[in-house]
Amino acid sequence: MFKYIIRRLVQAIPTFFGISLLAYLLLWLAPGSVVERLYFAPNISAETRARLAAQLGINDPFHIQYLRWLVGDDWMRWDNDGDGLADQSFGLLAPLDADGDGVNEPPGESYGILRGDFGSSFIKKKPVMDVILANLPATLELGTAAILTSLAIGIPVGVISAATRGRAFDNASRVMAVFFDAVPSFWLGLILLIFFGRQLDLLPMGGRCPPTLTGVCAPIFLRLDYLLLPTFVFAAGFIALFSRYVRTSTLEVMHQDYIRTARAKGLSGRVVYFRHAMRNAMVPVATLLGPIITNVWGGATVIETVFGWPGVGRIAFTSAIQQDYPVVMGITIFAALGTILGFLLSDILYVIIDPRIRLS
C-alpha cells in the first residue's frame, strides 16, 4: 500500500498544477478592476490606474503573473514603482537600470504558494494564510459534525430499509431521501431558521456562538443550539446519499453465501444485517467520503452564508464578491489539496473495509 500511496501522490502533482493554472486563468479573465475595488476610487485617472496596476503587478502578461504567484518574485526585479519601466533582473543576472534613475529597483517580497506564501488579502490587509487559518476551525467543526451525523443516521437507515424492503419504513425512507436530495440547502436552511428561530424562538437565528468581547466562542458543548440547524441542513443531503447507497449495496450482499450461512446458524436478523452484511456494504460509503471531505475542506459556502457561520466557505463567498483574489485563490488551492487527499483516503478505506481488495 505504501508504494501505491507514493505513486498516487506523484500522479497528483500534474493534477495540482493543472488546477492551479485553470483557477488562475479564470480569475485573470474575470471582469472588473482590482485597482478600483482596492482603492475605492472608480473615477481615478488612467495614469494613476496604470501606476497602481504596475505596483500590484496585475498589468503584466498572464504567464509572468502566474509564475510570480506560483514561485514568488524575490528572485526577480520588476516595475514595482509603477513608472512603466522595469529594472529587470532574474537570478544571478546583473540588474538593469531601465528607467535610468541610478537606483536598481529591489526584488519582490513574495515567496509564492509553493513555498507557503499565498500573498496578502486586498481587503483585510493580512496574509491569506492567516485569514484561512482563522476561519478553518469553524468549518472543520461544522463539517465534522455533519459527517458524523450523516454516517450515524444514513448507514443504519440504509440497512434497515434493505431489511424491510417494500414495507412502510423502506418506502418512507426512500421518499425522504429523494426530498432531502432535491431540496436546495439554502431554502431548507431559511425555512428552518424562520420556523425554529423566529416562530418558535427555540434556536438562534445564526452565528457560531453568542457575541463576546474577546471574539472567542465557548466550548462546543455549551453552544450546541447554534450547531444544531446548520449541522442538520449540511448533513441532510449526505444522509440521503448514504442511505440510498447503503440500501442498494446491502440488498446486493444479502444474496451472498455467507449471509445464508449466518441465517442457517440461527443468528438473529440484527446480527446478520448489522454485523455481517453492513461491513461488506460499506464500500460505497468509502467512495462517497472523498467528495464529502472535499466539501468540508473547501467550506460549505451556502450553509455558512445562510447561517452566518464564520467559516472558510463564507470567507470565499465574500472575497469573491469583493474581488479579493488572493483569498479566493488560497481557498481554491486548499480545496484542490483536499480533493486529492480525499480521493486518496477513499482508496485506502477500500482496503480497511474489505480486506479482499488489494492495492497494487
Q: Which residue has the cell 479482499?
A: 356
Instruction: Region of 29 please: left (phi>0), alpha (psi -120 to 50) or beta.
Output: alpha
Q: Which residue has the cell 529594472?
A: 87
* Model pLDDT, residue 191: 93
Over residues 105-130, the mean pLDDT reads 80
Over residues 140-150, the mean pLDDT reads 91
Weakest-pLDDT range from 94-98, 186-190, 273-277, 330-334: 94-98
Count CB-CB contacts under 10 A for residue 87: 21
* Model pLDDT, residue 229: 92
**What stretches of the chain adopt beta strand conformation (E)?**
76-77, 89-90
Name the nearest CA neighbour of 286 among 211, 208, 343.
343
pLDDT digits (tens, 9 = 90+) for 302-350: 899 899 888 888 898 888 888 888 898 898 888 888 888 888 887 777 7
Q: In whole angstroms, give the CA distance from residue 111 to residue 119.
A: 8
Whether 84 has a pLDDT exceeding 60, the answer reads no
Average per-residue pLDDT for the chain: 80
Exposure pattern of 104-133 as b/e (b: 16+ CB <10 Å)? ebebbebbbbeeebbbbbbbbeebbbebbe
Specify the length of the chain in residues: 360
* Model pLDDT, residue 90: 46
- State how far the alpha carbon of 310 is from the alpha carbons of 140, 225, 337, 339, in Å: 11, 16, 21, 22
* Coil/strand/helix, residue 107: strand
Over residues 250-259, the mean pLDDT reads 81
Higher pLDDT, residue 357 or 100: 357
* Model pLDDT, residue 338: 83
Please give the share of the chain, as a percent, with pLDDT higher than 90. Answer: 14
pLDDT-derived band of residue 354, with 50, 70 and 90 as boundaries?
Answer: low
* Model pLDDT, residue 339: 83
Q: In whole angstroms, give the CA distance from residue 314 to residue 324.
A: 13
Q: Which domains does the chain have, with CATH numbers?
A: 32-115 (no CATH), 128-353 (1.10.3720.10)
Over residues 142-147, the mean pLDDT reads 91
- DSSP letter string, 288-355: HHHHHHHHHHH--HHHHHHTT--SHHHHHHHHHHTT-HHHHHHHHHHHHHHHHHHHHHHHHHHHHH-T
Q: In whole angstroms, give the CA distance from residue 280 to residue 285.
A: 10
Q: Half-sphere exposure (CA, 13 Å, Cβ side) for 54? A: 17
Over residues 226-252, the mean pLDDT reads 90
Name the nearest CA neighbour of 118 among 106, 107, 134, 130.
130
Higher pLDDT, residue 51 or 303: 303
Name the nearest CA neighbour of 326 among 99, 95, 3, 37.
37
Whether 168 has a pLDDT exceeding 70, the answer reads yes
* Model pLDDT, residue 152: 92
Over residues 126-150, the mean pLDDT reads 90
pLDDT-derived band of residue 103, with 50, 70 and 90 as boundaries?
Answer: low
Judge whether 147 and 238 are in contact, CB under 8 Å.
Answer: yes
Whether 105 has a pLDDT exceeding 50, the answer reads yes
* Model pLDDT, residue 157: 92
Higher pLDDT, residue 70 or 107: 70
pLDDT-derived band of residue 91, with 50, 70 and 90 as boundaries?
Answer: very low
pLDDT-derived band of residue 228, with 50, 70 and 90 as boundaries?
Answer: very high
Higher pLDDT, residue 265 or 128: 128
* Model pLDDT, residue 122: 79
At position 299, the amino acid (one-letter code) is G
* Model pLDDT, residue 351: 72
* Model pLDDT, residue 31: 73
Whether 97 has a pLDDT exceeding 50, the answer reads no
Please give the share of the chain, as a percent, with pLDDT higher than 70. Answer: 80
* Model pLDDT, residue 93: 44
* Model pLDDT, residue 270: 77
* Model pLDDT, residue 80: 52
